[in-house]
Amino acid sequence: MPAEYRFDSLYSHGFVRVAVGIPEVRVADPRFNTVRTLSLARSASEADAAVVLFPELGISAYSNEDLFHQDALLGATEEAVQHVIEASQALAPMLVVGAPLRFQGALFNCALAIHRGRLLGVTPKTYLPNYREFYEKRQFTAGRDAVLREVELFGSVVPFGPDLIYRVENVPDLSIHVEICEDLWVPIPPSTYAAMAGATVLLNLSASNITIGKADYRRLLCGSQSARCVAAYVYAAAGSGESTTDLAWDGHAMVYENDMLLAESTRFAPGEQLILADVDVQRLVQERMRLTSFNDAASDHRARVSAFRHVATRFEVPSHAVPLQRTVDRFPYIPSDRARRDERCAEAYNIQVHGLAKRLTATGIQKLVVGVSGGLDSTQALIVAAKTMDRLKLPRTGVHAFTMPGFGTSEATRANAHRLMRALGVTGAEIDIKPSCLQMFRDLGHPYASGATGEEARDLTFENVQAGERTSHLFRLANYHGAMVLGTGDLSELALGWCTYGVGDHMSHYNVNGSIPKTLIRHLIRWVIASGQFDEPASDVLDAIVKTKISPELLPEASGRDGPSDVTERRIGPFELQDFNLYYISRFGFPPSKVAFLARHAWKDATEGSWPEGVRDEDRRQYSLGDIKRWLEVFVERFFQTSQFKRSCLPNGPKVGSGGSLSPRADWRAPSDAVADAWLRELRERVPDAE
């Protein structure tokens, strides 16, 4: 059974803490090496790690060469291993150590899994390198040639082989496989089959001397293996103390999770090191469940996969709080590194332009109609339209842009809309929609038509009539000009249902913003400015638009000379929080309690942490756990229960990011009449209202 749930512990949210120890060693001195190994193991235990990995042959040291055939050294190594097993009784994590061991007249390079005074199993090295500086076949027998499936050691019979998976029964999804150094260098590593057999954490005990450029190659191997296997890959290379007669060692330790580097040691450190990383095994299992090809591959190799032996063990999950020690970006759609962020923005922008260009070419239409409000979304759509015309070598005047002020339009946004249309050289015009809205109010018998201005007049219908009139004009204008209506609604608004059914932020002939979250759109426009996509007048007005507060501008009292006061985020929550919720719920299927746990971790030191460049000081907000729970509840109810019917009929538009799309033809297929009770109950029962 899983350990008792507590919100403030990473083990309650699908995470597992792993450690890698790089101890100081002495060549051919097992007693010394055992002392140093156990010292790091104790530190890992105190740090609440579930497993700690050590380098290849670390108990004896790796660089003994022909000394491995000396009985004195092998006997001392066996005594040292026995001491490690006994000492492990007082330690919480599983220890995985390396040692040379003799069985039936053969010497094997072994990895031993040890936990709470018990030897769980022994994994021999499958592939022995015997080229360049390596001569391991001179001393060892390859595990692939072993006929043994069990060995007797220290009075116990334990499983032996590369086909062992250590399944931690009381920690969901934690299954561990072990391989040794060269096993990763071959075309199909043993860990590949182990992952298909269910292993989520893959360990590699390595010696791996260092040569120029080899560290990058190790990173490539470990990262790509973790990605192919949809697993964590934990790697330990020998460090200080190994013989430098002919070789050198850098003590390289790494932890990857599905190609994401979580932790890395300092190479060439003068002393020993212990690195820690919190691996999200729940995320790995979620990914495998979604990737049908992963399970197809396992089926193709079912004979090899089904032959794995599972060794059961248990980890004493800490009963105290175990805070997450892992970077969780507040803006998962926006890299904090400027170079990566610029690269992502450039790619997103070009995907939008390419998608729109293809649609225009395919239809033979050479004109676009777009409504321009002076806000972020319509601005992004308009600059994509202008750049698409440039790419197709069509005049920008073929973009017919209309600003359509209503009862809540501010002078600031109206002015910005006109400035932008002029600066881009599109065909710009203004249509006052208030007269047609008043006619609609009269047709409806709405109180506003009779001069009422109270709450009964400024209702949802009052807002939706304005949005609907704008869309009606746009479609008729497109018909009149032989053009295509370009949509403006973004991914965040579609997730929350913050759009009026059938209007411009929901319906169009083609929508280039449909899979771009609100937080990214602001940075896309900043990138357009910084990269000089347009001339200075256009960049100046784009900068002014980026600084404008997000608002639908539908209520008269929201209008102001300096911009809107009816701020959207007061009604549906901060977009930075809601985009965070969207990413982890739609992309990974996490329960609300885990999303709240991650959000609290991401924002707990918001005033000190890094922010993407360009985020204004007033936007560098902090959120309490109560804030996070409140807005997450809003998100869950709107996303799962009240908004899907709007997403079931979205117009075409390109998928832009791996974070997903809500198109019913792409990433998200869901019933329109589902209920959110399961998510809301999980959130309310598991997430406290305050710290």
Of 363, 465, 487, the C-alpha closest to 407 is 465
Where does 116-256 have alpha helices with state H? 136-139, 190-196, 214-228
* DSSP code, position 447: G
Of 308, 72, 276, 328, the C-alpha closest to 177 is 308
Q: Which residues, at least 6 apart from 609, have a Cβ–Cβ distance to it below 8 Å?
A: 330
What is the end-to-end Cα distance of the chain in Å, rounded?
A: 27
**306 to 127, 191, 197, 281, 309: CA distances (angstroms):** 21, 14, 7, 21, 8
What is the distance of C-alpha 174 from the center of its chain? 19
Catalytic residue among 24, 136, 181, 272: 181
Beta-strand relationship, 427-430 and 399-403: parallel
* DSSP code, position 617: G
* DSSP code, position 670: -
Catalytic residue among 24, 56, 78, 182: 56
CB 529 within 8 A of CB 544: no
CB 212 within 8 A of CB 190: no
Phi, psi for residue 197 in degrees, rounded to 5: -90, 0
Catalytic residue among 110, 125, 437, 553: 125
* DSSP code, position 9: B
CB 374 within 8 A of CB 412: yes
CB 525 within 8 A of CB 544: no
Q: Is 125 one of the annotated active-site residues of the chain? A: yes
Q: In the structure encoding, which two tokens stand for residue 26, read together?
A: 């002495």
* Beta bridge mates, 276: 19
CA–CA gap between residue 467 and residue 412 (Å, rounded): 19
CA atoms within a 13 Å half-sphere pointing along the CA-CB vector of 366: 8
- Phi/psi class of residue 65: alpha, beta or left (left: φ > 0; alpha: ψ in -120 to 50)? left
Q: Is 56 one of the annotated active-site residues of the chain? A: yes
CB 382 within 8 A of CB 368: no
Q: Is 646 one of the annotated active-site residues of the chain? A: no
Positions annotated as catalytic residues are 56, 125, 181
